[in-house]
Structure 1
Amino acid sequence: MTCRNGIALALMLSLCVAPLAATAAAASVDATAPLPEGDRAFYMEVGEAAQQAERGDTLGAAIVFERLLADPRLATLPVEGRSHVWASAAMVAAEQKDFTLATQRLQQALAINPRNAYARLRLAWFQLHGQQPVAAADSVIRGAADSEGSPDITTDMVWQLDTELKDLPEKRLALLQALFDRSWKNDGVEPVELWVTLATLQVEAGHGDRVAATLERVDAPIALVRLRSDKRFDPYLQRDDARHEPVAAARRQIDRLRVETMLRPGLNETAVELATALMIAGELGDVVGMTDQLAAAANAATEAPDEEGFSIGWMLDTRSRALRRLGENDRAVANQLIAVRMAGATDMVSQKLNLAALYMALHRPMMAREVLRELDSADMSVYGISSHALVSLMTARQLNDEAAAQRAWTVLQANRTAAPGQYRDALITDNRMDEAAQTVIAQLADPMERGQVLLELQDMREGPVLVGERDYHDRWNQMEKRADVQAAVAKVGRIATYPLFAY
């Protein structure tokens, strides 16, 4: 019921802050350049303070940085060095949770050196945290341009920004184009979903001359299914070319990711992407096999290392889905429970929503409700809040709890524009089929919603339909066969059959 769209910003901040101070301090010194003795000594003090913060003594490091920022030697440093010292001091302030001070210091770093990409990209975090998505996007665009190589920005922040800019297509286009032009990747993995969004924005903005270059970096099966289903991309895709054939792309993706996991072994984004690619291709046994040892180790552990929790959580989540599709429901639940425990603070919201959805599908509504009660909406995006409400509605219907159903509807109604897919699924759940069809037709007419709903309408592989989701499944099939829905599809796209899972 939920996608890997990112995590709560407060959690992202806590994840990104810890390693940053030393990075900025290290950047302030060119080890090959001769330095005056006084400057070298000052840089060493800065580096020691940053290391002190990394060891956990952030209060002590903060005190040292207060002294260093007032030290007359700071004014004698070159522009780049002074700027980096201020950036290091900012990130120590962030570790102290003083985000206002951190922002002020980053602004000072940029006043000294406007081309300090490190400071610019860190400032974007705090602008986003301060609910200034346009300013954050501008900082990313500028920081990307000033970066040497790929911009140092996480996928979570990019996804968050992309979501926040949903109603600002020109700014969204500028952001994604800036990242594309600087060859930004997600931990070495091409973010093809974002490039499909970029290509869509380019078509809508009349930048057709840029679309072909964007699509050159889209070589993944589900992204290609979306593109092939949308008539806007017919001028840019040759449907009989193996380069644009989803099943062939699935094989290429798996082969490519297998090589990359050998070159970069461990629990990382590449391993997660490989498990997902195997799932999409229907190689369910391979998903289970590649995660057997991980599941055994995770089952014996109480928590995952902080730096690996995200990857472990999602690999076990994928394993759980594979087991469900293999008909091993009890093992699927057991592994999803481990995924929740291992994800920890990094992505527990998504894992718990998926656990609740699994319980609901198995017609275990009380267990689903118990999981949902553990979630705090403050930790969720609008997508997450709406997903929570949708599962709550489905669970309420299984329990014949009208009051709970109405509470869920209040949330779904409030977020129907931001999360139309969940609102539509709620309509189907309550058998309001005419309204559901009209929502689908509206999604097909929306330039940015069209690709997702076309993907959902394709004839693709499915796992066993569980008892708790049977009514919804039957109603969805009824809806997509309606003449008004079929006519709306024919205007903008097409439906085809693919021997792949959609996720």
Structure 2
Amino acid sequence: MACRTSTTLVLLLSLCGAPVAGATAAVSGASVDATDAAPAANTAFLAEVRAALQQANNGDSLGAAIVLDRLLADPRMATLDVAERSNVWASAAMVSGAQKQGDIALQRLQQAVAIDPHNAYARLRLGLTQMVDEQIDAAADNVILALADTDGEPDMPAEIVWQLDMLLKHQPARRLGVLQGLFDHDWKIDGIEPVEVWVNLAILQVEAGQHDKVAATLERIDSPAPLMRLRADKRFDRYLRRDDPRYDPVAASRRHIDRLRVEAMLSPGVNETAVELSDALMVAGDLQDVVGMTTRLAEASREAGSAPPELARHVAWMLDTRSRAFRRLGKTDEAVDTQLLAVRMAEPEGDTVSHRLNLAGLYAALHRPLMAREMMKGLDDLSTYGQSSRALIDLQIALQLNDAAAATRAREQLFASRNDTPGHYRDGLLLENRMDDAAAGMIAQLADPMDRSTALLELQDTREAPPLPEEVLLTARWKQLKQRPDVQAAVRRVGRIESYPLFSH
């Protein structure tokens, strides 16, 4: 799965858009369970709540908010049972969120949970709202409790899971609680196993001494890059046989593609399966297949001013993958044109950040620093990963333009983010030929329990695209870093380096 740069705005949209429809379902579910003996007033009252929520779903969240304000103060609220009252407060909170009234939404979610502590719908959204407010400990605790009370698959958008996983990087107990809750409730991304998340879960289980749980987690990991991470890490030697085809990344690559092709035939169209298939083909090196499967999509996108809102995220990511395929094929003009198209097709208020950063990085690699800088104008409200991604590109631009002040700002940001995104910090050091510092950073990554497998994956001998003009020197320094005796010794202590005829992210 391609790395996607979450923003606070994405989280807000996840909370304040579609969840209103979920709130309607929550209130509907409560009223369906009412007995024949329930007062007629309750039935009428809940019908008014549902009508207000439908009004919000139809686009009139202001009108719905006015109605719900009145209904929350209605004496009939006191006659509802606990579950119904809690759901009404949670529903009203979602409409407040749609009105950008964050404080009111938070208060109403807290009230919903106070009324019914086992209201998983309300508690989950309370946790996600606290994420936006950077109350990370409280957010994680509420997500864990919500997952424990959830029936079926949790309603957790992938972007939020990735964001929370990174925010909890230095809190292993909470991180383990969140990921184990998702795993136990069979969470997927539109039917696709989030294998990178499960690798993190497996590492947390090993580090916590939960050896009896590791095998079940590994059973749900069957794609090449995650298996490369596991095979490279000596901690997993006791859990997998290295000569077993089940854990062979190359065999897993073909299995992964075959499964996705079947799923794509069963669920055709532009969806998460299609995105995952294009990405899997990239890893396998089937670059022409990526170009072929996305050609009609690219042609349609050129003729359209924008993508349909419900398809925009998938369209943009498939075009992003097409751009990377062109880049690896040495067709840089096509890569740039396609990445521009990905930016245009992305959700206007959603994940344009990732695609703009990817285009800026491409411009910087092609020694087009002014175009790269222009592409990053106005990019703010970024996640920690997004901030360090931008800082690394800023440093490339500053070095190309001899802009000392900009270079200093970029270095400061990379240094500030080094614990969360050590790879970006190390690449910044390589850009400036600070080889001893880069080696120290790599050795520290290999010693860190959670950073280790990512560092080992980067160190594997995999297929590489021809470097672009501004990547030639960086690539040479990276190879030099890998061969240093101190880095090699650090690798041997915790893992190993193997060769694979696959691309790695």
TM-score by length of 2: 0.96
Give, in angstroms, the shift of residue 265 of structure 1.
2.7
1:423-434 alignment runs, 5 A limit: 423-434=425-436
Aligned to 2:12: 13
Of residues 308, 311, 317, the one that matches 1:308 is 311
Displacement of 1:34: 4.7
Query: Hey, what does 1:348 align to over in structure 2?
Result: 352
Segment of structure 1 superposing worse, 193-202 or 100-109: 100-109
TM-aligned CA deviation for residue 98 of structure 1: 0.9
Q: Structure 1 residue 154 and structure 2 residue 196: aligned?
A: no
Structure 1 residue ranges, 4+ long, deviating more than 6 angstroms after superposition: none
- 1:379-418 equivalence runs, <5 A: 379-418=381-420
Aligned-partner residue type, residue 365 of structure 2? A
Q: 1:330 aligns with which of 330, 333, 357?
A: 333
SS in 2 for 1:239: coil
Give the residue type in structure 2 aligned to 1:9: T
Q: Percent identity?
A: 58
Q: Quote the residue 1:247 is aligned against.
A: 250
Q: CA RMSD in A?
A: 1.6
CA distance in 1, matches of 2:5, 2:131: 14
For residues 209-253 of structure 1, what are the alpha-carbon distances to aligned partners after superposition, in whole Å with 9 as ceiling and x for unaligned?
A: 211111111111100000000001000011111110001111111
Q: CA deviation at 1:363?
A: 1.9
Which structure 2 segments of 5+ residues have no match?
A: none
2:241 aligns with one of 238, 241, 257: 238
Residue 101 of structure 1 pairs with residue 100 of structure 2: no
The superposition leaves residues 67-95 of structure 1 with CA deviations (integer Å, 9 ceiling, x where unpaired) of: 11122222222222221111111111111
CA distance in 2, matches of 1:12, 1:482: 42
CA contact (8 A) 2:10 2:159 kept: no
| Per-residue Cα deviation, 1:356-385 (whole angstroms, up to 9, x for no partner) | 11112122222222212x143x32112211
Q: 1:28 to 1:370 in 2, by over 3 A?
A: closer
Amino acid at match of 2:246: R
Match of residue 375, structure 2, among 365, 371, 379: 371
CA–CA separation in structure 2 for the residues paired with 1:111 and 1:262: 47
Deviates more, 1:275-284 or 1:24-33: 24-33
Q: Report the Cα distance in structure 2 between the residues aligned to 1:77 and 1:387, rounded to whole angstroms.
A: 50
- Paired residue for 1:188? 191
Give 1:182 shift. 1.3
Counterpart of 1:497 in structure 2 is: 499
Amino acid paired to 2:358 = N
The residue number in structure 1 matching 2:449 is: 447
CA contact (8 A) 2:414 2:425 kept: yes
Greater Cα offset, 99-108 or 214-223: 99-108
1:262 alignment counterpart: 265
From 451, 460, 476, the equivalent of 2:462 is 460
CA distance in 2, matches of 1:24, 1:365: 47
Matches within 5 A, 1:131-150: 131-150=134-153
Question: What is the TM-score when the length of structure 1 is the normalising length?
Answer: 0.96
Q: Which amino acid aligns with 2:110?
A: Q
C-alpha distance in 1, partners of 2:124/2:476?
47
* Deviation, structure 1 residue 349: 1.1
Contact 2:86 2:116 in 1 (8 A): yes
- How many residue pairs end up in the alignment? 500
8 Å CA contact 2:27, 2:91 repeated in 1: no
CA–CA distance in structure 2, aligned partners of residues 16 and 281 of structure 1: 36
CA contact (8 A) 2:5 2:385 kept: no
1:11 deviates by 2.7
Is 1:435 paired with 2:434?
A: no
- Whether the 8 Å contact between 2:56 and 2:64 is mirrored in structure 1 is yes
The residue type equivalent to 1:451 in the other structure is S
Letter in 2 for 1:197: N
Q: Deviations over 1:326-354 (max 9, x none)?
A: 11110110000011111132111111111
**Displacement after TM superposition at 1:16 (Å):** 3.4
